[in-house]
Amino acid sequence: MEFSKDELADIMIEHLELPELENKGKGKVNAEKNKYNKVANLGPDSLRHNQRTFKEALKRNISSGNYNPNDPYVIPIKADKRFRSYSTKEVPDVNAVVIHIADISGSMQEAQRKIIQAEVFWIDLLLTKSYKDIASVFIVHDTEAKEVSREDFFKMSSGGGTQIASAYKLVDEIISTRYPFSDMNNYVFQYSDGDNFSTNDDCGTLLTEKILPNVNQFCYGQVKSQGGSGEFIDYLGARFADNDKMVLSQIDSEDDILASIKLFFERGK
């Protein structure tokens, strides 16, 4: 079966019992959006719903006893015709930027990249449901961080070490120069296996002073790997235990993806 992005998002929201994201009031709100999601008995031929029209014709033939399964020839009449129609609803017309950060050091392998790709897919889908215009930024890092394309984000790997602070510095630069929090709804999602060769306190200072004050939410997903220490999530949990903008998720396998998405979005920020 084929589903639209909105339908997939609705299924996920219902399944995970997620709240609607809070409207931060940045940009125009309550813009009207027309969506063709109804069927009417009247309308122009350009909007005729052929499938529903023939369904009505088939029902009429069967109920009248005129349908012959050996000669299934059905001709719709005027009363059978159905047309696509729309409903108008108010949607938030605000802007958001989503910054994804991935550790591409030697301990992050194909299994970890697949988990990250699935996380990014659902995150983008759910945010697109709430925001009209979204900019996506992709950052990878080992000992140094750089901005890359979406395609490269899921392919790049490195044999080097891990310095998370380099990614945080780049995030701060991107937000301060391109996406100021006064104008945008900013979300940061980070994926790592917990190794960090830079000082944890340097990362904590960057988060406290530069990043957390300028985002709606910062989400850290720690992906289990054979070589990763898994220690960074403990540091974040201890330092930011009382900060409701910080969300932490332990992702040990693909089975944990949905639970991780629920954690990231259940606060409705």
Domain assignment present for 73: yes
Alpha carbons 246 and 236: distance in angstroms, whole number: 8
Q: What is the CATH number of the domain that holds 141?
A: 3.40.50.410
Is 169 among the domain residues?
yes
Specify the DSSP class assigned to residue 76.
-
**Are 232 and 110 within one domain?**
yes
Q: Is the dihedral of CA 202, 206, 212, 213 positive or negative?
A: positive
73 and 204 housed in the same domain: no
Question: Are both 151 and 261 inside the same structural domain?
Answer: yes
Give domain status of residue 55, yes or no.
yes
Shared domain check, 66 and 17: no
Domain of 230 in residue numbering reads as 5-31+93-265
Contact status, residue 168 vs residue 147, Cβ threshold 8 Å? no
The reply to whether 36 falls in a domain is no
Q: pLDDT tens string for the chain (269 positions)? A: 577 777 888 888 888 888 777 655 554 444 555 667 788 888 888 888 888 898 998 888 888 888 888 887 888 998 999 998 877 766 545 578 999 999 998 888 888 989 999 999 999 988 888 887 788 999 999 999 999 999 999 988 887 788 999 999 999 999 999 999 988 899 999 999 988 888 899 999 999 999 999 999 999 999 998 777 778 999 999 999 999 999 999 999 999 999 999 999 998 87
Give the global pTM. Answer: 0.72
Task: Based on the fold, state whether residues 14 and 136 are members of the same structural domain.
Answer: yes
Question: What tokens appear for 168 in the block?
Answer: 């945080």
The count of structural domains within the chain is: 2
